[in-house]
A and B are shown apart, each in its own frame.
Chain A
Amino acid sequence: DIQMTQSPSSLSASVGDRVTITCRAGQNINTFLHWFQQKPGKAPKLLTSPASDFQSGVPSRFTVGGSGTHFTLTISSLQPEDFGSYYCLQNYSVPYTFGQGTKVDIE
């Protein structure tokens, strides 16, 4: 199995702050990496796929980067509606694996 190590596990930041979440793969996964946002009680919402192709409606303050084993999701200016949990997912090989998640709180 490809282990996905996501960090930090949680963060608290102020509106306007720049926030970066990192996902590291246990082996090279090329760019087969997706990012999701999940609000409490809701299904995950796809942000990007594969690693830099943003879904329609995702604000431009979200950017992603990386390939191989190191990936980042950056929110350039944190907004109140960005609270929630963020997950990465690799679908380079089965079993597909998620990062353990990053919970983002707004201070």
Chain B
Amino acid sequence: QVQLQESGPGLVKPSETLSLTCTVSGGSLTNYYWNWIRQSPGKGLEWIGYIHPSGSTNYSPSLKSRVSMSVDTSKNQVSLNLTSVTVADTAVYYCSRPWQYWGQGILVTVSS
């Protein structure tokens, strides 16, 4: 049974970097594109980007200048970094192995 679990700080200050980790259990990272999606409070879903364990990445153009993703196969983890955050980055962040498996999501609030 594949399970995904997001973790990281729930509160980030404006202009700082949001860093989240998605830990995968019950399956391997290999052969899949691992996606990050976010959902602002009361809003719809926004695709952030994906990473493949080979290192291949693709990011949303609207976030590309601030986003980076990485994979640690030894820990079965995928990470998301979003720099220079503003209140507009307040959202629930999800990781997904397309598209059947999702983490439960983590609410990240950007506030001073």
Taking a contact as CB atoms under 8 Å apart, the answer to whether B103 and A43 are in contact is yes
Size band of the B side of the interface?
Answer: 10 to 19
Does B28 reach chain A (CB closer than 8 Å)?
no
Interface class of chain B by DSSP: loop
**Least distance between A65 CB and chain B CB atoms (Å):** 19
Interface class of chain A by DSSP: loop
Taking a contact as CB atoms under 8 Å apart, the answer to whether B100 and A44 are in contact is no
Taking a contact as CB atoms under 8 Å apart, the answer to whether B61 and A1 are in contact is yes
Q: Binary interface profile of A, 80-107, with partner B (CB < 8 Å = 1, else 0)?
A: 0000000101010011111111000000
With both beta carbons as reference points, the residue of chain B lying nearest to A1 in the complex is identified as: B61
Taking a contact as CB atoms under 8 Å apart, the answer to whether B46 and A98 are in contact is yes
Give complex CA distance A101, B46 in Å: 11
**Least distance between A105 CB and chain B CB atoms (Å):** 15
Q: Which residues of A contact B (CB under 8 A)?
A: 1, 34, 36, 42-46, 49, 55, 87, 89, 91, 94-101
